[in-house]
């Protein structure tokens, strides 16, 4: 039998304003917004046509923002817009109008890094909340206090802050703290990397980042031979020596069989540490990934929603459920770690080995309808599937079941040997009840 | 129209460098220590800084101190004492990026001049003016801006403009210990070994075999530097004509003799320009003097001065 022990928090901080932490999810487009909110996000952040750091994303028009805000309202959820570039001279003229339009579209907050965007928002649309972006790399409570005095209700801390530091900040300043809890991370201080600018002339701080930190590099030393880590013989064998004309005293710090040097970080995942994050008083739990798939967003949001709710409902009896971790792994694109929350990342937190294939599951179909009597579901095709294939259904709240696809029919009742057409409505028998917005996935 | 002669500023890492660079023609030096300032060519404690101030002031030169680290909670407690000590030492200004430093100066050392240096993120005049409204008197403009952006923003700036004209730039800064991590991954941990500026480590990207990117680790994390050295000497007159207030020579990871030569050449160019701006002509021999001492594996380039970046 499970015995109950009183939960003793390892970290304590004050949570302000919100009685329960907000789960904040990325929404790369209107459809992702709907999934994120339906699967449990309290708020989503999106990008507009300007001033955001994902210039390749399928960004929102003002009309789409309005529709997104309307959808969110039905769930009591909020929509934030990332305006987190570092502006150049040419960007300045349009800021006021853009911010007014965001406010008019019903956006609750902007996430801004450049003080001129912060300041303009405070001046022009004071009703629009401004949250300081992680791009400012805010690491100390005095800086947080500064931004509070500038009128900001919330600061997204630099990803380099540990739980201990967050506790100190929470105990010094009465302000909402947002922290990234899941997803890909800059391995540099956010905003303090222009590798992309140097390698490809793409401006990282205006949304052009080409992720040069994930490329492969070789590490050398200018110096005296006796300081070298590899033997001269090993150096001669080096794959780079054959291509690169080294100077007299330049030595590779790797040998033939070594993996290349890289700055590539593993992805953040804090599912195993929800109690610590809640106890320390983090107000908003942020998931990274405006470029990620619907399947990713729905799966990750769903799991965190359950964990947060379970802990808030009964902290003393809270346990990390193994199926949450399993679910996370179905969506994970890279190996996972806990970032800087407990310690500075070390050799186990970077990706030196060749990367494994991304997320092992695909979104195969969206449940549109379910008929209790006939146990028939109407599915909107999102990827190829066919009879005999094993699929998994899941929906908000953690209901998951596997089944083998039986016979499938199109809307006119014609039997099909595969679901081949994007968005086609397909009927199939399901072994457990499903609901609108439940998802069907298949192994890749 | 002839504007004011701009200051020629060089970063320095020791008292010897301070003296040599001023003798070579620098009007000001930027110094400091790793605990508070990032990527300095050497560490100078408060006693060294006081000495540097005395030496510089005797030659009518200025001393600025870099306090532009991303400040951690742990450093916060020391900040007030540090800025007070800097004020007492008589420094002519400090560089900052973190608002915590601004607060500390306002509270404990309000006489200190504040120069806003947020590295690659000081990219427009309006944000510089914002920090101006908070008390900054100067902005160090991002090295990733081009000449058109620099010259068009100058008239809009309500504070002084500093532009880097020569040397390498930082292109990546992480709190992570990336060299240590890599060596440990290889099964050859290097704990306690020197991985700092003088170790001479560099990276080569797989498809750019002729570009060497210096990399070093210190208490502020891992720093990766550009593979080329900015040199805008040939078009210095454009910056002079635009009225820039301070021209910076980055001296990090270079021998003193190299830096001395570079400072002398820029000194000559600036002085020549101000003797007769209309008749000024760039001298190819100036470039030759620099080329002679330039590391052949590092390109002298215009950096981002004439590049269009996309996003």
Q: Which residues of chain A have a CB within 8 Å of the CB of B79? A: 142
Q: What is the pLDDT of residue A230?
A: 47
Residues 373-432 of A with CB under 8 A from B: none
Residue A1 has pLDDT above 50, yes or no: no
Residue A31 covered by a domain: yes
Domains of chain B: 7-169+227-301 (3.20.20.70), 173-224 (no CATH)
Q: Which of A198, A215, A219 sits opposite B171 (nearest CB)?
A: A198
Q: How many CB atoms lie within 10 A of CB B219?
A: 8
pLDDT at A358 over 80: no
Q: Are residues A274 and A257 located together in one domain of the fold?
A: no
Interatomic CA distance for residues B246 and B95, integer angstroms = 13
Q: What is the pLDDT of residues A300-316, one digit of tens each?
A: 999 999 999 999 999 99
The whole-angstrom distance between A424's CA and the closest CA on chain B is 36
Q: Say how far apart CA B59 and CA B61 lie, in whole Å.
A: 5
Question: Is the pLDDT at A277 greater than 50, yes or no?
Answer: yes
Which residue is closest to A95 within chain B, CA to CA?
B126
Nearest Cα to A158, choosing from A189, A188, A130? A189
Q: Do A223 and B186 touch (CB under 8 A)?
A: no
B193 confidence band (pLDDT: 50, 70, 90): confident
The band of A247, judged by pLDDT with boundaries at 50, 70 and 90, is: very low
pLDDT of residue A121: 97
Least confident of A5-9, A163-167, A236-240, B231-235: A236-240
Q: Give the confidence band of B3 by pLDDT, cuts at 50, 70, 90.
A: low
Per DSSP bridges, beta strands B160-167 and B246-249 are parallel
Going by pLDDT thresholds of 50, 70 and 90, the confidence category of residue A237 is low
Q: What percent of chain A has pLDDT over 70?
A: 90
For residue A140, list chain B residues with Cβ-Cβ distance below 8 A: 71-73, 75-76, 98, 100
**Arithmetic mean of pLDDT, B138-148:** 97
> Residues A37-80: pLDDT tens digits?
999 999 999 999 988 877 666 789 999 999 999 999 999 999 99
Asked whether residue A8 is domain-assigned, the answer is: no
> pLDDT band at residue A357, thresholds of 50, 70 and 90?
low
pLDDT at A235: 53
Q: Give the mean model confidence (pLDDT) for residues A144-164.
A: 97
A16 within a domain of the structure (yes/no): no
One domain for residues A376 and A392: yes
The predicted-structure confidence for A217-230, as pLDDT tens digits, reads as follows 999 888 644 444 44
Burial class (CB in 10 A: 0-12, 13-18, 19+), A297: buried
Return the residue matching tokens 């007492």.
B88
pLDDT of residue A234: 54
| Local confidence band at A11 (pLDDT 50, 70, 90 cut-offs) | confident
Together in a domain, A367 and A408: yes
pLDDT at position A394: 97
Quote the number of domains for chain A: 3
pLDDT confidence band for A353 (50 / 70 / 90) = confident
Residue A155 belongs to domain with CATH number = 3.20.20.70
Q: What percentage of chain B reaches a pLDDT higher than 90?
A: 91
Give Cα B56 to chain centroid, integer Å: 18
User: Which of B71, B72, B147, B171 best probes binding to A when mutated, by most A CB atoms within 10 angstroms?
Assistant: B171
pLDDT class of A399 with cuts at 50, 70, 90: confident
| pLDDT for res A197 | 94
Q: Kindly report the average pLDDT of chain B as a whole number.
A: 95
Contact: B99, A142; criterion CB under 8 Å: yes
Interval A313-345: pLDDT, tens? 999 999 999 999 999 999 988 999 999 999 999
Q: How many CB pairs under 8 A join A and B?
A: 223
C-alpha atoms less than 13 angstroms from C-alpha of B208 in its C-beta half-sphere = 18
- The Cβ of residue A26 has, within 10 Å, a number of other Cβ atoms equal to 28
Residue A298 lies in a domain: yes
Yes or no, beta carbons of B183 and A229 under 8 Å apart: yes
Are both A286 and A406 inside the same structural domain?
Answer: no
Domain membership of residue A69 (yes or no) is yes
For residue A420, give both structure tokens. 């081949």
Quick check: is A72 in a domain?
A: yes
Residue A5 pLDDT level (bands cut at 50, 70, 90): low
Mean of pLDDT values over B125-132: 97
Looking at the predicted structure, is the pLDDT value of residue A243 above 80?
no
What are residue A294's DSSP bridge partners?
none
Cβ distance of A139 and B71 shorter than 8 Å: yes
Q: Which long-range contacts (CB under 8 A, 24 or more apart) does B293-300 make?
A: B293/B257, B293/B258, B293/B261, B293/B262, B294/B229, B294/B258, B297/A247, B297/B210, B297/B212, B298/B168, B298/B212, B298/B227, B298/B228, B298/B229, B299/B227, B299/B228, B299/B229, B300/B228, B300/B229, B300/B231
Is the Cβ pair B174, A115 closer than 8 Å?
no
Q: Which residue has the tokens 């967003």?
A: A297
ipTM higher than the 0.85 cut = yes
- Determine the residue of chain B that is closest to A88 in CA distance: B124
Rounded CA-CA distance B9/A78 in Å is 49
Interface contact A189-B183, CB threshold 8 A: no
Chain A contact set for B179 (CB, 8 A): 219
A407 and A336 in a common domain: no
**Which has the minimum average pLDDT: A158-162, A223-227, B165-169, B185-189?**
A223-227
Q: Are residues A283 and A414 in the same domain?
A: no
Assess whether pLDDT exceeds 90 at residue A368: yes
> Which are the contacts of A190, defined by CB distance < 8 A and separation ≥ 6?
A133, A134, A135, A136, A137, A158, A159
Q: Tell me, what's the pLDDT at A241?
A: 44
Residue A368 sits in the same domain as residue A426: yes
Q: Which of A304, A327, A349 is the last residue of a domain?
A: A349
Q: For position A249, what pLDDT does the model report?
A: 56
Q: What is the pLDDT of residue A163?
A: 97
pLDDT at A225: 43
Range of the domain at A125: 22-190+264-349
Q: Which of A117-131, B39-53, B188-202 has the lowest mean pLDDT?
A: B188-202
| A200 falls within a domain | no
- For residue B125, the model assigns a pLDDT of 97
Question: Nearest 5°: phi and psi at A362?
Answer: -115, 145
A148 and A280 fall within a common domain: yes
Confirm if B114 and B65 have CB atoms less than 8 A apart.
Answer: no
CB atoms within 10 A of CB A263: 27
Could you tell me the pLDDT band of residue B310, with boundaries at 50, 70 and 90?
confident
Q: How many CA atoms lie within 13 A of A116 on its CB side?
A: 24
pLDDT at B99: 98
% of chain A surpassing 90 pLDDT: 80
Please indicate, yes or no, whether residues A177 and A222 belong to a single structural domain of this protein: no
Alpha-carbon distance A234 to nearest alpha carbon in chain B (angstroms)? 14
> Which of A169, A198, A340 is opposite residue B226, by nearest beta carbon?
A198
Confidence of residue A444 (pLDDT cuts 50, 70, 90): confident
Whether the full predicted model's pTM is greater than 0.90, yes or no, is yes
């Amino acid at each position: 039998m499970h015995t109950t022990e009183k939960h003793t928090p390892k970290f304590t901080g004050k949570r302000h304003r919100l009685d329960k932490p907000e789960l904040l999810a990325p929404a790369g487009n209107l459809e992702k917004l709907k999934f994120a909110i339906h699967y449990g996000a309290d708020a989503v952040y999106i990008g507009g046509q300007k001033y955001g750091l994902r210039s390749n994303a399928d960004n929102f028009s003002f009309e789409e923002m309005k529709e997104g805000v309307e959808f969110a309202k039905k769930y009591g959820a909020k929509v934030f817009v990332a305006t987190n570039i570092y502006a150049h001279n040419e960007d300045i003229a349009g800021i006021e109008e853009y911010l007014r339009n965001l406010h008019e579209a019903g956006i609750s907050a902007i996430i801004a890094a450049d003080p001129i965007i912060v300041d303009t928002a405070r001046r022009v649309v004071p009703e629009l909340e401004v949250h300081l972006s992680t791009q400012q790399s805010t690491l100390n409570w005095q800086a947080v206090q500064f931004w509070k005095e500038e009128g900001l209700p919330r600061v997204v801390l630099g990803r380099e802050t540990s739980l201990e530091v967050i506790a100190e900040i929470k105990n010094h300043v009465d302000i909402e703290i947002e922290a990234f809890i899941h997803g890909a991370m800059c391995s540099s201080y956010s905003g303090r990397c222009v590798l992309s600018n140097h390698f490809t002339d793409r401006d990282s701080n205006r949304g052009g980042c080409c992720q040069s930190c994930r490329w492969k590099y070789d590490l050398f030393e200018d110096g005296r031979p006796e300081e070298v880590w590899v033997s001269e013989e090993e150096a001669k064998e080096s794959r780079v020596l054959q291509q690169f004309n080294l100077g007299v005293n330049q030595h590779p710090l790797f040998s033939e069989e070594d993996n290349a040097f890289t700055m590539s970080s593993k992805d953040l995942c804090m599912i195993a540490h929800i109690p610590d994050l809640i106890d320390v008083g983090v107000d908003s739990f942020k998931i990274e990934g405006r470029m990620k798939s619907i399947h990713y967003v729905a799966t990750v949001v769903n799991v965190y929603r359950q964990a947060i709710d379970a802990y808030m409902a009964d902290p003393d009896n809270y346990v990390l459920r193994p199926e949450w971790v399993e679910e996370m792994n179905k969506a994970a694109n890279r190996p996972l770690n806990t970032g800087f929350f407990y310690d500075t990342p070390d050799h186990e937190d970077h990706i030196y080995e060749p990367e494994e294939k991304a997320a092992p599951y695909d979104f195969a179909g969206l449940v549109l309808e379910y008929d209790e009597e006939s146990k028939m579901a109407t599915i909107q095709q999102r990827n190829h599937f066919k009879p005999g294939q094993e699929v998994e259904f899941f929906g908000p709240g953690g209901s998951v079941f596997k089944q083998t696809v039986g016979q499938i029919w199109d809307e006119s009742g014609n039997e099909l040997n595969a679901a081949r057409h994007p968005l086609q409505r397909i009927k199939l028998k399901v072994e457990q009840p499903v609901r609108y917005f439940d998802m069907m996935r298949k192994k890749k | 129209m002839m504007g004011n002669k701009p200051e020629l500023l060089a970063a320095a890492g020791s008292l010897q460098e301070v003296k040599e660079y001023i003798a070579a023609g620098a009007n000001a030096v930027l110094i400091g220590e790793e605990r508070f300032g990032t990527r300095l060519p050497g560490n100078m404690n408060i006693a060294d800084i006081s000495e540097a101030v005395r030496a510089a002031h005797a030659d009518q030169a200025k001393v600025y101190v870099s306090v532009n680290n991303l400040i951690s909670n742990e450093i916060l407690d020391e900040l007030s004492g540090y800025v007070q000590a800097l004020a007492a030492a008589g420094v002519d200004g400090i560089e900052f990026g973190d608002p915590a430093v601004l607060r500390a100066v306002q509270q404990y050392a309000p006489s200190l001049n504040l120069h806003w240096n947020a590295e690659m993120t000081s990219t427009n005049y309006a944000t510089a003016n914002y920090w101006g409204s908070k008390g900054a008197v100067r902005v160090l403009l991002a090295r990733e801006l081009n000449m058109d952006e620099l010259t068009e923003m100058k008239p809009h700036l309500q504070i002084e403009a500093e532009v880097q004209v020569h040397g390498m730039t930082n292109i990546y800064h992480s709190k992570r210990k990336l060299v240590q991590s890599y060596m440990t991954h290889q099964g050859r941990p290097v704990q306690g070994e020197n991985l700092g500026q003088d170790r001479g480590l560099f990276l080569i990207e797989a498809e750019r075999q002729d570009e060497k990117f210096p990399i070093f680790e210190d208490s502020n994390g891992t720093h990766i530097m550009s593979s080329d050295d900015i040199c805008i000497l040939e078009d210095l007159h454009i910056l002079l004509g635009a009225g820039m207030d301070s021209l910076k020579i980055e001296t990090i990871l270079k021998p003193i003799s190299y830096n001395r030569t570079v400072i002398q050449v820029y000194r000559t160019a600036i002085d020549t320009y101000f003797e007769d701006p209309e008749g000024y002509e760039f001298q190819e021999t100036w470039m030759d003097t620099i080329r002679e001492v330039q590391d052949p594996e590092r390109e002298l380039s215009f950096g981002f001065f004439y590049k269009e970046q996309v996003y």
